Amino acid sequence: MSVNHGSKRITTGAHYGLRDWLAQRITAALMASFTLLVLVQVIFTSGPIGYEEWAGIFAAQWMKVLTFVTILSLLYHAWIGIRDIWMDYIKPLGLRLFLHVASLIWLIGCAGWAVQALWLL
């Protein structure tokens, strides 16, 4: 049997390609729907939009839950997209691993900040 570990490992056939492809589309649809939802509320607000009107859009519990879902969707969607960019252009394995880890820290940190801002409201 041929060697299938270390540098000889066959890296195809793990079948996470389809799952990520599908996840990127589903999270995209969720975020697009959320965008339209916020846009509709902005458009149907009468008068100028100040703090009360703007923060009011995100204040209801159901809206907080939907915003939370959108933040998590963004996290997953952006991870797949950025990982694809590193896989396309960055060949040295060590550098690619470093960039993967840096991207994850960046994304998870951003998501944490967004969630904190959302629930302090």
Partner 1 sequence: MTEAARKRPEFRNINALSDLPSYRLPAAGWVSILHRVSGALMFLLMPFIIWMFDSSITSEISFAKFAAAFNVGLGFIPGWFMKLVALAIIWAYLHHFIAGIRHLYMDTFHAVTKEFGKSSAVATLVLSLGLTAVLAAKLFGLY
Binding site for partner 1 (CB under 8 A): 25, 28-29, 32, 35, 50-51, 54-55, 58, 78, 81-82, 85, 103, 106-107, 110, 113-114, 117-118, 120-121
Token pair for 94: 């060590």
Residue 29 or 97 having the CB closest to partner 1: 29
Q: Residue 16 CB, nearest distance to partner 1 (Å)?
A: 19
Cβ–Cβ under 8 Å, residues 24 and 80: yes
- Measured in whole angstroms, the distance separating CA 2 from the mean position of its chain's CA atoms is 39
Cβ–Cβ under 8 Å, residues 77 and 24: yes
Q: Residue 84 CB, nearest distance to partner 1 (Å)?
A: 8
Residue 10 or 17 having the CB closest to partner 1: 17
Cβ–Cβ under 8 Å, residues 91 and 85: no
Residue 21 has, within 13 A of its CA and on its CB side, a CA count of: 4
Q: Residue 9 CB, nearest distance to partner 1 (Å)?
A: 27
